Structure formats: C-alpha cells, structure tokens
A = this chain, B = another copy of it.
Amino acid sequence: MTVQSISAQYFPEEPKAPVVKSTKGSSSKQAIETLGKVFDARGAYFVADYGKSQGNYIADVDGNLYLDVYAQIASIPLGYNNPALIEVAKSDKMIRAIVDRPALGNFPGNDLDEIVSDILKVAPKGQDKLWSGLSGADANELAFKATFFWYQAQKRGYHSDFSPEEVESVMHNQAPGAPELAILSFERAFHGRLFASGSTTCSKPIHKLDLPAFKWPKAQFPSYKYPLEDNVEANKKEDKRCLSIVSDLFKTWSVPIAGVLVEPIQSEGGDNHASAEFFQSLRDITLKHGALLIMDEVQTGVGATGVMWAHERFNLQPPPDLVTFSKKFQSAGYFYHDPEITPNLAYRQFNTWCGDPARMTLAGAIGKEIVKHDLTTRASEVGDYLYKKLEKLQEKYPKHLRDLRGKDRATFIAWSLENGAARNKFLSDMKEVGVNIGGCAEDSVRLRPTLVFEEKHADILIDAIEKVLSKY
C-alpha cells in the first residue's frame, strides 16, 4: 500500500530539501536591528519571509530555507501557506470577522453558532460547550475564573445571592468577596505568563522573576526513568509519591484548593510524561476534595500527539471539567460539559471581545482538515517511523540522545543532552544543516512539527541530526 502524501496534495511546490546559504546572514541581522528600535526583538532567531515559506519549510530573509520542526513554538498546524486555510482567509466570513469584529457576548453575529459548532466537532469526548479567549494564558485564566465561580457556588448554592459583606469587601480586593482560594499546579509546569497563569507556571525563573504572584501550591509531577519498559516498577512508585503530595496539599494548604491544573505532557518544562493511571488517580483526588480538574492542552492538543486531545488516552471518568486550548488551533479558550460551569449570572465570565471570530473561524477550518485527511493517524504513523529511527541514533550517540521520550505519541518527541550548553549548541548546529528546531527545559530538545510532517521530512531530519552528532 502506498501511503498518500497529504503534504504533496497541499503543497505540490514544497521544497525537497533545506537550503542553507548563511545562517548568520546580514539581512536577518540588519532587520532585527531595525526592528529592535521599535519592538523588543532580542528573542528573534531570524527574520522570516512568510511569503516564501511553504508547507514544512520556513524561509528567512537571507535565502535560507529551513525544515521547520518547531513551527512557531508548536503552533502552525497544517504547514505554511496551506491552501485550504488561505481559502478560508479569503472568505466573506473571515473578512467580516476582521473588519466588523463583534463584542461576541453582547452582539454575536448570525454565524457565531456555526463557528462555535465547527470547533465543537473536534472537541474532546464529553465536552459540548465552549468559551473563547485569545491566548493560552488567557484561556487558562478564564478557566480559573470558571473554577472559582463554580467552587463558591458549591458552597453558597448555585442560585444564591451574594452577601452584602461579599459585595462590599470585593471592591477592596478583600475576602469574603475576593476569597482566598488556590489553583494547584505542578513543578516544571508551564501555563502562561500573565499574573494568575504565571503563578501556576513553574518551569523557569526567568518567566516569573520580579512579578508579584498568588501564593498557590505546587505539587511534583512524575520524573520517570527511561526507557519506560525497563523501569515499570520505579515509575509506578514515582506516580504514587507524586500523588501523595497532591493529596497532602489538599489537606494542608493554608487556603482551599478550587482546582487542579495539569498538562497531559509537561511540554515547555521538558516533555515530562505521566501514566494514564497517574491522571486517573488525579481525577479521583479532585472528585474526593470537591475541586475541578483543568486539563491544559494548549501545546498537546489539536492532533499533536496522534489523537485530537492528548488526555483522551487517559480515559478519565468523568472527563476533565475544563480543557484549555490555543497554539495549533490558532484560537484560544476552553471546553467544558457541566452546565454549572457556566456561572449563575450573565456578565461574570465576560469581556469586550470574548474571543476573536477570525481566529475561531480558522480553528473550525483546521479541525475540518484534520478530520478530512485523518491527520492524527498520519501523525501517529510518521511519529512511529521517526521514533524508531531516533532509537537507532540513540544507540549510536547515547551521550547526545538521552531519555528519548514520546513513544506512541506521534511526533511529540523529545530527548535530553548532557547539559544546557550542549543542548544550545545542538540547536544552533542544526540550523547549519537546515533544520529549525526548538528546546524545552534546560537541556532538552523538543520536536513540534506540523501535522503535515511526513516520512520524507523525517528522513531529512534524521540525516541532519546524524550529520551534527557525528561531528561531536
């Protein structure tokens, strides 16, 4: 059987291989300097030419053409200049959403029901409602708001009035109106960089330093030993150890914990995996203590791990209460199913825009293409192919390819190097052989290609890795 190449269908003109002219080219350097006068551009790796980018290849202004397995920090879903999305971008619906941006909560357009329903077609199993936001951090904070509203409603009664003390004290940012409540998250987690989401983020100090934070608790997320098949018992013990920390925090934390926030795979924090059993037990703990379970699928969602939503592999009963999304969906928000997660009154979960219908329209189209071409299955196949090749490389270069992880998780693959300096050198050397690739945690490499990354691209990636490692 010949596997159909979706990327060839979308991108008949996709380059066959990277082109490296000069990764330290003067055009990028100069453009970054110019941009830096008006915009903080110190994080820029290069200046891209999106008009010349195509499928899995990103072009820069120096004529380089990189195979892109980072994809805008895990965000480009279907390749650069995908023709199906270009068609949507040119549609009347999109043009209206751009020029007549509604305040969706007050004046929804007559296409909003369709826009939301299109997104819900690919919602996690069990989720049938949506609230929309603007970024992953925003999505998480909106989910926190929903969680706190729900938690207080459980105590007060869903339809009960606020007390005069609550109404008065809240205007001074004081309890009982502004209660002392917490969201529990995990060490090494990343959930965004606003103030509440930042208080749940715990992957790198640079994300948080100098910013006031809510004093919310951090449990520990399992640190597994690899390869998994040789460390079953040790890893089971690790699950248990971490779960008991969560249970203890519920009993001992100085303020009540209203919700637990967790990534199905800790991504920015190092591609740290945990077992389905760990997540099932976490679900049980939240039920036992009357807290909600918020699954942060900002990076893992939308097909990246070979299923539409990574947590669906865990078979949680009942499903997570809120599932947040962003990145590959190019839109943001959360899914939920419990009607009581809708606050008891209008205007509690509210803001001017309540999302962006342009980005939501795109999300619906992305979901449709994923289903139409069964891209989750394709991502799994390509991931298996790639993983096997990486295992072989690992045997050859064990020092530079440690703790390979992401087996059976499509192309959501990572490994560690011996330290941060070695990792940074590797990322930089990969550019010299034509691959744009990203890191996570201090010493790891993460693969985050598009969903139209195929075996032919995997071959190029593997060759490039080998080319770099063979010189070390």
Could you tell me which residues of chain A, from 49 to 82, have a CB within 8 Å of some CB in chain B? 49-51, 53, 58, 61, 72-73, 75-76, 80-82
B-chain residues with CB within 8 Å of residue A98 when the two chains form the complex: 85, 89, 94, 358, 362
Tell yes or no: A120 within 8 A of B by CB: yes
Give A434 Cβ to nearest chain B Cβ, in Å: 16
Decide if A41 is an interface residue (CB 8 Å cutoff): yes
CA distance A72 to B144 in the complex (A): 26
**Within 8 Å of chain B (Cβ to Cβ): is A112?**
yes
- CB of A73 within 8 A of CB of B138, answer no
A177–B202 alpha-carbon span in the complex (Å): 13
**A82-B96 Cα distance, complex, nearest whole Å:** 10
A346–B136 touching, CB < 8 Å: no
Contact B148 A212 (CB under 8 A): yes
Q: Which of B100, B136, B138, B178 is the one whose CB lies under 8 Å from A50?
A: B100
Known contacts A180-B212, A194-B138, A210-B152: A202-B89 contact under CB 8 Å: no
Identical chains bound together, number: 2
- Kindly state whether residue A179 has any CB partner on chain B within 8 Å: yes
Q: Is A106's beta carbon under 8 Å from chain B?
A: yes
Say whether B209 contacts A212, CB under 8 Å. Answer: no
Residues of chain B lying within 8 A (CB to CB) of residue A34: 113
Tell me the interface secondary structure of chain A in the complex: loop
A262 near B: Cβ within 8 Å? Answer: no
Contacting residues, chain B, for A421 (C-beta < 8 A): none
Report chain B residues within 8 Å CB of A117: 38
Size category of the A interface is 35 or more
From 140 to 175 in chain A, residues with beta carbon under 8 angstroms from any chain B beta carbon are 141, 144-145, 148-149, 151-153, 162, 166-167, 170-174
- Of the candidates B39, B167, B171, B356, the one whose C-beta lies within 8 Å of that of A202 is B171
Are A342 and B40 in touch, CB under 8 angstroms? yes
Tell me if A211 and B110 are in contact (CB < 8 A): no
Note all chain B residues with C-beta closer than 8 A to A137.
351
List B contacts of A23 (CB < 8 A): none
Contacts of A171 in B (CB 8 A): 187, 202, 205, 208, 218
Report the bound CA distance from A15 to B47 in whole Å: 46
Whether A103 touches B73, Cβ cut-off 8 Å, given contacts A109-B48, A110-B48, is yes
Which of B89, B95, B112 makes the CB contact (< 8 A) with A35? B112
Q: Tell me whether A216 is interfacial, beta carbon within 8 Å.
A: yes
Which single residue of chain B is at the shortest CB-CB distance from A53?
Answer: B100
**Distance of A385 from chain B, by nearest CB (Å):** 27
Known contacts A38-B117, A107-B45, A149-B210, A195 near B193 by CB under 8 Å: no
Q: Find out whether the CB atom of B43 lies under 8 angstroms from the CB atom of A352.
A: no
Q: Is A349 an interface residue (CB 8 A)?
A: yes
**CA of A202 to CA of B218 in the docked complex: distance in angstroms?**
30
Please tell me if A134 contacts chain B, counting CB pairs below 8 Å.
yes
The 10 closest A-B pairs by CB, nearest first: A195-B196, A42-B346, A173-B213, A178-B213, A134-B134, A152-B210, A89-B98, A43-B105, A85-B99, A50-B100
Could you list 9 A-B pairs, sorted by A, with CB under 8 Å?
A: A43-B105, A50-B110, A72-B101, A89-B98, A137-B351, A149-B211, A166-B205, A170-B205, A171-B205
Q: A32-B108, A136-B352, A195-B214 are in contact. List 20 more A-B contacts (CB 8 A).
A: A31-B110, A38-B117, A44-B106, A45-B107, A49-B110, A50-B109, A72-B352, A73-B103, A76-B101, A80-B99, A86-B95, A89-B95, A90-B90, A98-B358, A179-B212, A196-B196, A210-B348, A212-B214, A326-B352, A327-B352
